[in-house]
Amino acid sequence: MSRIMRSSVQQIFVFAALVGIYIFFMFAAPNFAQFSIALDIVQQSAYIGVMALGATFVIATGGIDLSSGTGMTLVAVMAGVFLSGEWMNMPLGGGLILVLLVGGALGLANGANIAYLGLPPFIATLATMMVARGLALIISDKASISIKNPGYGWIANGQLIPGVPNAVLFFILLAVVAAVMLNKTLLGRYALAIGSNEEATRLSGVNTKLWKMLVYVVAGVFVAFGAILYSARFGFVQPAEGLGFELNVIAAVVIGGTSLAGGRANILGTVVGALIMETLKKGLLMMGIAQEWQFVVTGIVVIIAVFVDNLRRRRAAAA
């Protein structure tokens, strides 16, 4: 079976899983079949899904990013600093640019530590996770920050298309951008090449250190976009939140078919993976299942996804 055909089969399988889960909850959870619930699932998936788009590039290189959850919180806190009247009260456009730069800076720190200092991705991003969490608490003085800029709230809650929140549109738009970047640009091609065989890629003349660092910068920018969608929807930032979001991000990527070993990535699969995670969360909540059991189900789903990925790689190696 060719690589393209295997990818197509994987996409069909993941999408079928989403449909199957949704149909199950239509019968198991009262009122789950309402259109408003489906729209809410997509809207709730937006910020995790957008961060997962960036994480797809990282995992494609064979790396990992544990800092996306607390990094998102720090970026959201900085959005409050830049745009709130009690703080800097900047114009919306300038504030958003600075927010994206903060996200890119976090990614740059991760990328430099991994590519140039040679730190393992797990350790480097774990350190960034703790630094980001600490800075978010210090800057906010452990207090929630309200973001009352009306234009900022419109980013997530406005409706360019009547009945469809802007968060959904931005999620779709950024997914298209990520797909183009992965499949049509040097960044995506080199990310996959590094994940497949970094040494061979380096010997072919590619500056693997530079491109690996740029991958983490891009992931940081996507974290910033996720932070904007998250904080814009609710209008405030809780500096203690975000811890654990990185697990949902990684789960969405892995469930979507991107290999933890690197060398294979699927943006559409990541989008569907994020929808699967949120559908499970929403369905279990509407069934009255305690949040503790939601974590259990999520963990089981991740284990299954990783097992399937390992099984697929063994079969591909044997073919």
Q: Does position 72 have pLDDT exceeding 60, yes or no?
A: yes
Q: In the structure, what pLDDT confidence band is assigned to residue 5 with cuts at 50, 70 and 90?
A: low
**Sign (positive/negative) of CA torsion 72, 73, 79, 82?**
negative
Q: Does position 2 have pLDDT exceeding 60, yes or no?
A: no
Write the CA distances from 9 to 13, 14, 34, integer angstroms.
6, 9, 30
Helix, strand, or coil here: 120? coil
Q: How far is CA 257 from the centre of its chain?
A: 14
pLDDT by residue (tens digit) across 290-314?
A: 878 878 887 888 788 778 777 877 7
Helix and strand counts by DSSP (H, E) for the chain: 12, 2
What is the distance between the alpha carbons of residues 87 and 147, in angstroms, rounded to a whole number? 10
Domain ranges in the chain are 40-304
Give the global pTM: 0.93
pLDDT score at 134: 96
pLDDT by residue (tens digit) across 180-198?
A: 999 999 999 999 999 999 9
What is the distance between the alpha carbons of residues 10 and 7, in angstroms, rounded to a whole number? 5
192-206, 238-252, 282-296 — most confident range: 192-206
Neighbours of 250 (CB within 10 A): 24
Q: Does position 166 have pLDDT exceeding 90, yes or no?
A: yes
pLDDT score at 12: 83
Give every CB contact of residue 208 below 8 A, 6+ residues apart in sequence. 115, 190, 194, 198, 201, 202
Pairwise pLDDT comparison (29 vs 224), residue with the higher score: 224
Q: What percent of the chain has pLDDT over 70?
A: 96
Q: What percent of the chain has pLDDT over 90?
A: 71
Q: Which CATH number fits domain 40-304: 2.70.98, 1.10.10, 1.10.1740, 1.10.3470?
A: 1.10.3470
Is the separation of the CB atoms in 80 and 201 below 8 Å? no
pLDDT score at 22: 93
Is the separation of the CB atoms in 69 and 129 below 8 Å? yes
pLDDT score at 51: 98
pLDDT by residue (tens digit) across 16-29?
A: 989 999 999 999 98
pLDDT score at 3: 56
Mean pLDDT for 19-41 is 91
pLDDT score at 292: 82
* Helices 186-203 and 208-234, packing angle to 10 deg: 150
pLDDT score at 87: 83
What is the distance between the alpha carbons of residues 77 and 223, in angstroms, rounded to a whole number? 13
pLDDT by residue (tens digit) across 83-138?
A: 987 788 899 999 999 999 999 999 999 999 999 999 999 999 999 999 999 999 99
What is the distance between the alpha carbons of residues 38 and 85, in angstroms, rounded to a whole number? 35
What is the distance between the alpha carbons of residues 305 and 253, in angstroms, rounded to a whole number? 10
Q: Bridge-partner residues for 164, per DSSP?
A: 161
Q: In the structure, what pLDDT confidence band is assigned to residue 244 with cuts at 50, 70 and 90?
A: confident
pLDDT score at 319: 62
Q: What does the DSSP assignment read for 287-301?
A: TT--HHHHHHHHHHH
What is the distance between the alpha carbons of residues 158 and 150, in angstroms, rounded to a whole number? 10
